[in-house]
């Protein structure tokens, strides 16, 4: 008897990939090639990694257009412009994220999914860079999820772990779209067009809020059923003499 065999990409379902931070060692030995997995997420004001304060995160005050105060601003007032860049590393195909600063933004101009790029860092204190390779190797995959640009918004929210930002997005999502915010481009002097993401992030939370409403409605119906069942049982109970 021969066992049934399959092939990669032939599964009935696709598991969402998790993009994880990857540090880049400086020097030629630390560079590697990859394919751009999607649009970089530019943040005009972000707080860099700090030993005591934690990982790199966007400034909540900037993300919410000044409506919510930022705890990091009080302890780390200096903010920088940077981007989270999603990549598929060529060496092992892993989905990764690297952080690129504004100083290296020009090297990414004109790059789009799924361009072949080289990732590196010149010195230990310089920014990670992502730039086109001379080989321009074509990207091929049998993974259906990788046949289109990835959106990393949801994963960034999970990585940042900023409850105050999440709460603001949930409450303001409808208002953002009502004001018809132009989410296509925000012009900056050094990095060209920087996507404004709050509208897209709010859409994600609107969907999550709808799921929560459905769960609450199910819980309400269950509670009513239990109360009715208890009432019926009580109505059918006759007290014994002496009760």
pLDDT tens string 186-222: 443 444 433 445 666 666 666 666 665 666 676 677 6
Q: Is the pLDDT of residue 116 over 80?
A: yes
Do 81 and 103 meet the contact criterion of CB atoms below 8 Å apart?
Answer: no
| 86-108 confidence digits (pLDDT tens) | 999 999 999 999 999 999 999 99
Do 121 and 128 meet the contact criterion of CB atoms below 8 Å apart?
Answer: yes
What's the CATH code of the domain at 178?
2.40.50.100
Q: Which residues does 180 contact at the CB level (< 8 Å), separation at least 6?
A: none
Q: Decide if 219 is inside a domain.
A: no
Q: Decide if 234 is inside a domain.
A: no
Q: Decide if 83 is inside a domain.
A: yes
- Start-to-end CA span in the chain (Å): 72
Q: Decide if 7 is inside a domain.
A: no
Q: Decide if 167 is inside a domain.
A: yes
Helix (DSSP H) and strand (DSSP E) numbers for the chain: 5, 10
Q: Decide if 13 is inside a domain.
A: no
- Domain that includes residue 151, residue range: 20-210
Spatial distance between the Cα atoms of 36 and 20, rounded to a whole number of angstroms: 14
Domains: count for the chain: 1
What pLDDT is recorded for position 7?
66
| 215-237 confidence digits (pLDDT tens) | 667 667 766 766 666 665 545 55
| 140-177 confidence digits (pLDDT tens) | 999 999 999 999 998 999 999 999 999 998 886 655 55
Angle of helix 198-235 versus helix 163-178 axis, rounded to 10? 100
Q: Decide if 9 is inside a domain.
A: no
Q: Decide if 217 is inside a domain.
A: no
């Amino acid at each position: 008897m021969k066992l049934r065999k399959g092939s990669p990409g032939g599964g009935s379902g696709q598991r969402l990939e998790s993009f994880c931070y990857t540090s880049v060692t400086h020097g030629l030995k630390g560079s590697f090639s990859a394919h751009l997995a999607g649009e970089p997420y530019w943040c005009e004001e972000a707080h860099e990694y700090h030993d005591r304060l934690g990982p790199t995160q966007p400034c909540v005050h900037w993300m919410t257009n000044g409506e919510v105060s930022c705890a990091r601003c009080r302890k780390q007032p200096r903010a920088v412009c940077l981007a989270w860049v999603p990549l598929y590393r060529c060496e092992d195909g892993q989905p990764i994220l690297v952080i690129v600063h504004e100083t290296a933004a020009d090297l990414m101009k004109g790059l789009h999914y799924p361009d072949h790029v080289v990732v590196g860092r010149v010195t230990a204190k310089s920014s990670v860079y992502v730039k086109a390779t001379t080989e321009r190797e074509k990207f091929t995959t049998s993974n259906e999820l990788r046949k289109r640009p990835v959106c990393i918004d949801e994963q960034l929210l999970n990585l940042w772990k900023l409850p105050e930002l999440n709460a603001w997005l949930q409450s303001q999502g409808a208002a953002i779209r009502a004001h018809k915010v132009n989410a296509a481009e925000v012009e900056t002097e050094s990095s060209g067009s920087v996507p404004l993401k709050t509208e897209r992030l709010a859409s994600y939370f609107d969907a999550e809020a709808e799921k929560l409403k459905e769960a609450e409605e199910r819980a309400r119906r269950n509670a009513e059923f239990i109360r009715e069942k208890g009432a019926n049982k009580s109505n059918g109970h006759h007290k014994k003499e002496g009760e």
